């Protein structure tokens, strides 16, 4: 490819990057590439690996994200959306509230086991994206069971932090506590907090 062709390609890429739909598509491509890199290499994956996986020169990543932190936040939000979609069916499952809580915890843990690096990454950046949805689902479940539910967002955020901390600890101590025991314990602790708020 001659210099003129390279220049035309660069100009065309810059123009295309200015179109909102194309910018959104490129951002999503980069986020998905970053997710695959985090899944494979963990939370220490560098920007160069992300750019390579996306098939873009490294400087092009900075056209779509202000910094590595900006990209990290986008990846964490996307991971939170994936986890939310995974657990959503269990949020409205039939059963008494303690059983529903147990099912949600079990579902979270199953996703974490399938995506340990991405789970750690999402938890490390503490995205609160799922808090409103979890709050709404918990209140609906409690009201359907006859409880007067009041669950402030800070309580739900604290529960998410408890579950994250327990699962991340367990990743490094699986020989000490089995998965079902961890699920039972986390579900019991979460239900204690929720039940106190729902009296």
Q: In terms of residue numbers, what domain contains 149?
A: 78-198
- Specify whether 95 is located in the same domain as 148: yes
- Specify whether 138 is located in the same domain as 42: no
- Specify whether 38 is located in the same domain as 82: no
DSSP state of 19: S
Specify the number of domains making up the chain: 2
User: What pTM, to 2 d.p., does this model score?
Assistant: 0.81
- Specify whether 145 is located in the same domain as 184: yes
- Specify whether 170 is located in the same domain as 116: yes
- Specify whether 61 is located in the same domain as 82: no
71 within a domain of the structure (yes/no): no
Per-residue tens of pLDDT for the chain, all 199 residues: 455 544 445 555 554 556 778 888 888 999 999 999 999 988 777 888 888 898 888 888 888 888 888 888 889 888 888 998 898 888 888 888 999 999 999 999 999 999 999 999 888 877 666 788 888 888 888 888 888 878 888 998 899 999 999 999 999 999 999 999 999 999 999 999 998 887 6
87 within a domain of the structure (yes/no): yes
C-alpha distances out from residue 10 to 4, 13, 17, Å: 10, 5, 10
Q: Which residues touch 167 (CB under 8 Å, ≥6 apart)?
A: 108, 109, 112, 119, 123, 182, 186
Tokens of 114: 């399938």
73 within a domain of the structure (yes/no): no
């Amino acid at each position: 490819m001659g210099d003129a062709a390279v220049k035309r390609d660069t100009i065309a890429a810059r123009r295309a990057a200015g179109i909102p739909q194309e910018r959104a598509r490129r951002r999503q491509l980069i986020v998905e590439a970053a997710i695959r890199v985090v899944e494979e290499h963990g939370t220490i994956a560098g920007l160069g690996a992300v750019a390579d996986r996306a098939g873009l020169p490294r400087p092009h990543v900075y056209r779509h994200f202000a910094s590595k932190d900006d990209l990290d936040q986008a990846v964490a939000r996307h991971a939170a959306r994936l986890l939310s979609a995974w657990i959503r069916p269990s949020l409205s499952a039939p059963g008494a509230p303690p059983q529903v809580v147990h099912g949600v915890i079990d579902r979270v843990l199953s996703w974490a086991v399938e995506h340990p690096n991405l789970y750690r990454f999402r938890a490390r950046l503490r995205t609160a994206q799922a808090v409103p949805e979890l709050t709404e689902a918990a209140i609906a479940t409690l009201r359907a069971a006859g409880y007067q539910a009041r669950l402030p967002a800070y309580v739900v955020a604290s529960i998410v932090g408890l579950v994250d901390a327990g699962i991340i600890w367990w990743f490094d101590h699986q020989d000490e506590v089995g998965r079902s025991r961890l699920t039972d314990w986390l579900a019991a602790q979460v239900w204690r907090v929720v039940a106190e708020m729902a009296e």
